[in-house]
Chains A and B, each alone.
Chain A
Amino acid sequence: MGLASSILIMLFVLDELSFDKFHKDSDRLYRISVSGKIQGPEIHAAVSCVPIGPALVKELPGVEQYTRLFPFGGDPLVRYEDKSFVEDGFVYADSTFFDVFTVRFLAGNAGKTLNRPNTLVITRSIAMKYFGSTDVIGKSLQVFDPPQQFSIDGVIEDYPASSHLKFTMLASFMTHPISKNIIWVSNNVYTYIKIAKNTKASVIESGMVAIVEKYVGPQLKQFLGIDLSQMRAAGNRYGYVMTPVTDIHLKSDLDFEFRPNGSISTVYIFSLIAIFLIVIASINFMNMATAKASSRAREVGIRKVVGSQRSQLVGQFLTESSILTLVSFLLAILIAFIALPYLNNIADKNLSIDLINWGLFVPGMILLFLFISVISGSYPSFYLAGFNPVSVLKGKLQMGIRGGWLRKSLVVLQFFITIGLIICTLIISKQNNYLLNKNLNFDKNNVIVVNRAYSLGGQTDAFMDRIRAIPGVTEASVTSMVPGGRSSGNTVFRREGDSKDNFQALNIMGTDQDFQKTMKIEMVQGRYFSRDFSSDSSAIVINESAAKQLQWDNAVNKILYQVAANQKGGDLPMNVIGVIKNYNYESLHQEVKPLIIVMQKAGVNSIIRYSGASRSEVLSKIHSVWNEVVPNQPFSFTFLEDLLYDNYQKERQMGKIFTIFSVLAIVIACLGLLGLASFTIEKRRKEISIRKCLGAAPVTIMELLLKETIILVLLATFLASPLSWYYMKMWLQNFSYHISIDLGIFIISTLIALFIALITILMHVYNASVRNPVDALKMD
């Protein structure tokens, strides 16, 4: 079982490590991402600007090719004749995409696709979904919104899941207006480059410094009125970073990642667990084999008397252990195969045995097999073979003190791992609970979020009025950002009275007048937007963090300028009318950052609060209103609670996996303990009898025997606690909001381990303590 889990974990690790390795020349692929600081917070985003790709190829000889990606932004509706679906993998890409990344064409040709506007390359599954065939070159798909016609000039094999990129349809980048963008300080596309053979990434990176000087400098001057050196003097930076594509999945954690990445620490932890499990399993094997030694001692004695040499005996025992190991290996592989689908289900992965590189896997397994059989077989073999035949046959078997210590340390090691895992599991589940139950300063219950509200367009007001009229709906609002949902970006602001170059980037969102009421967020100062004030179109509401960052004790009626926002490119004054309580508008991984709320009548989402009892009724009415207002658009919704719940998918998965491993470790450690217990009891049988003769009650004997286990478990706790405390502290730092690790968790974990340990051996100990002392004493 230990082995089976290890194999599964190794699959998982291999999968994580294999990300983006399938590209030809994957070692020469890099992503360009922006990194810097302009007044406000540090910027580390996975994106860069539109013109940098071509500029790099032009300016730096080491850069062979570039390609840019730009996700559709929201999920478009795609239609072919009577079939229409909402697609979540629609991405604009340069025609050079296929020069940089490796995909297999089923129809069409890498050099001749995506080089005209409104062309499209789709994957096999998309082709099958809309056309039922992959032979679809020249056919076209309609994409909304706005309505556009794309003609297909390529069909590729489904893009592998083991990439940090994810898409199902690639549209020519030049179709999108953003492709004409020449602004260097507006970072919104993903840029990838392929560098020439034998070119060092560091050479390219230093070359980019000159590019920043040449291109970014003048634009800063033009738009913000300062040049690079002035900016740097004020403690700011601006530049680009290259990340190897193969490192992105495990090592990159920037803002605006293409999709959520994995983490290298998870890979380390799982590798460690796999090793632990193998070690534990081997230890148990050793332990049991040694404990059984006493019963085989006579066999060894007789073999020795009839002339077997020590080396022959060692050989015999090693062979036996190898055969046992081989059997468990085969069983393990079988179990792994059977359990794989369940693991995929839990970990939300698509692992398959195909991942295994058989050329490496088979020799690896053979090596592991040899290692395990020798390690787990050697101690018992030498131990058994070392018996003195005379004393063995006389029935005097002295178990060495050393052997006892070794065996005890092995049990301590197992409980060390077990307790460590229990502690981690408890902390993770406590944190997960905390994430779900923390007061977010808004009311997340009974809220329906209608997605793709932007497709309502000019009908938004009409839609909202009809929604508010539905019985059971108490409040409704449109917003560019649902709490806990996708961020709607940031914008540069300047305080009234500050100099032109003293500006800061702050997060911004737009809502109508009803957002604060609908979400039930408190106001700290002033008021929220209201229909009673026509001047509110140029008003803003800020959150407490923003007030703090702007150093306003009383923010109401202060003026904030949105830099370069009016028609003439000048700064637009906005009047602060209120300060809203800091609510968690991002997931709890993030602290509440400064937020500027502007008034806006249309939004990405519509949020609707209903009164508790009539959920399904309200929902069906909202659906029918949607269908009447925008009959062509598919209706998509979620409950706010579910949306928030999904933010912590990764943490729950981790919790599940830890729980499984804890249980596994507990089972394995208990087997080990059982072995030790029966061994010790057998060894102390005589002593127990003597003590009973002298008047020890069974309870006293049980105390005596349990004491040893308790000491071992406590020792293991003592060792495991600081380590797991340290590791969990690191993990909790992923969250701006997290629980504190208290002593209680360690005590509970210890009690759980003790309880399980004692239950395991209780039966044995009880039997030993009530056994009639005469039986043992008679053996003399």
Chain B
Amino acid sequence: MIQTIDLTKVFRTDEVETTALNKVSLEIINGEFAAIMGPSGCGKSTLLTLLGLLDNPTSGKLLFNGEDVSGYSEKQRTLLRKSNIGFVFQSFNLIDELNVFENIELPLLYQKIPVAKRKKMTEEVMERMSISHRRKHFPQQLSGGQQQRVAICRAVVGNPVLILADEPTGNLDSANGEDVMNLLKQLNGDGTSIVMVTHSPKDASYAKRIIKLFDGHLVKGDE
């Protein structure tokens, strides 16, 4: 589904040039559950943002379903992203002013799905993730685990083919963390591809494949 060829990202400030990713080539196939691991600053999150089409690489190619998207404009990336990719963040990133239902519904809004269908899809996903009873609550009224559950709902509501998770358990205690990992595993079982950045070997053990990064280089893959 996603293939990277010599993917490189360089951050420049006025004086310093930092190579966050250096010629990374890998492939994520349909139905995959991959964990990206590595020490702080190795480029994990950068790789994730590139895979998530949030940013363009400095050089190299990024193929999405066989098409090179590395030179896409922001508008094109947005279009591709909103119907194909869901995001889960370490700090949940829910919008405080919106309640649970509205938070989950948000991506559908941007996909211009009609109201009735939007409502149905949102209800379904809340039912599936057992969060329906909290629908009117605001993020600050929920526990961390519940918030991440809502965030996952939001990530999957549009039926994306790929979920990108950035340390999804990082802000959770172990019980809630396990809960979230089980949810992800269940989603993967239903056919959604997942790429997850994590520090935790325990979380990584849920994945089918582990990609290790060190100083922007791919250390070990299995292709």
> A residues bordering B, Cβ < 8 Å?
686-687, 689-698, 700, 770, 772-774, 777-778, 780
Contacts and interface: CB of A to CB of B under 8 A. Distances in A.
6 contacts: A690-B95, A692-B78, A693-B52, A693-B81, A770-B74, A774-B54
Given A770-B74, A772-B55, A774-B54, A695 B110 contact: yes
Given A691-B95, A694-B154, A695-B82, A774 B110 contact: no
Contacts of A773: 54
A774 to B, nearest CB: 5
A341 B97 CA distance: 54
Contacts of A696: 78, 110
B127 to A, nearest CB: 21
Contact of B87 (A687, A694, A772, A778): A694
Contacts of A694: 82, 87, 106-107, 110, 154
A732 to B, nearest CB: 46
Contacts of B176: none
Contacts of A695: 78-79, 81-83, 107, 110-111
B118 to A, nearest CB: 13
Given A694-B87, A694-B106, A772-B54, 15 more contacts: A687-B97, A689-B93, A691-B106, A691-B110, A693-B93, A694-B107, A695-B78, A695-B79, A695-B81, A770-B74, A774-B54, A777-B93, A780-B89, A780-B91, A780-B93
B49 interface: yes
Contact of B90 (A692, A697, A774, A780): A780
B75 interface: yes
A777 B89 contact: yes
Contacts of B82: 694-695
A695 B111 CA distance: 8
Contact of B45 (A686, A687, A772, A778): A778
Given A690-B95, A777-B93, A780-B89, A698 B74 contact: yes
A777 B49 CA distance: 11
Scoring A686, A689, A693, A700 by chain B CB atoms within 10 A of each residue's CB, the highest score goes to A693
Interface string B44-62: 0100010010110000000
Which A-B residue pairs are the 5 nearest by beta carbons?
A: A695-B82, A695-B110, A780-B91, A694-B107, A690-B93
Contacts of B49: 774
B50 to A, nearest CB: 10
A700 B110 contact: yes
Interface in B64-99: 74-75, 78-79, 81-83, 87, 89-91, 93-97
Interface string B175-191: 00000000000000000
A693 B110 contact: no
Contacts of A689: 93
Interface string B129-163: 00000000000000000000000001000000000
A179 B23 CA distance: 111
Contacts of B154: 694
B111 A697 contact: no
Nearest to A697: B78
B158 to A, nearest CB: 8
A172 to B, nearest CB: 84
B100 to A, nearest CB: 15
Nearest to B96: A687
A774 B45 CA distance: 10
Contacts of A693: 52, 54, 81, 87, 93
Nearest to A778: B45
Nearest to B75: A697
A686 B94 CA distance: 9
Scoring A698, A700, A774, A778 by chain B CB atoms within 10 A of each residue's CB, the highest score goes to A774
Contacts of A692: 78
Nearest to A699: B75
A172 B64 CA distance: 105
Contacts of A700: 110
Nearest to A695: B82
Contacts of B93: 686, 689-690, 693, 777, 780
Nearest to B50: A774
A704 to B, nearest CB: 11
A700 B106 CA distance: 12
Contacts of B87: 693-694
Nearest to B166: A777
Interface string B25-48: 000000000000000000001000
A768 B95 CA distance: 17
Given A694-B110, A695-B110, A774 B55 contact: yes
B43 to A, nearest CB: 13
Interface string B108-133: 00110000000000000000000000
Nearest to A689: B93
Contacts of A780: 89-91, 93
A71 B97 CA distance: 75
Contacts of B75: 697
Contacts of B89: 777, 780
A697 B75 CA distance: 7
Contacts of A686: 93
A449 B170 CA distance: 92
Nearest to B95: A687
A679 B45 CA distance: 29
Contacts of B96: 687
A697 B107 CA distance: 11
Nearest to B46: A774
A401 B91 CA distance: 23
A45 B75 CA distance: 76
Contacts of B78: 692, 695-697
Nearest to A698: B74
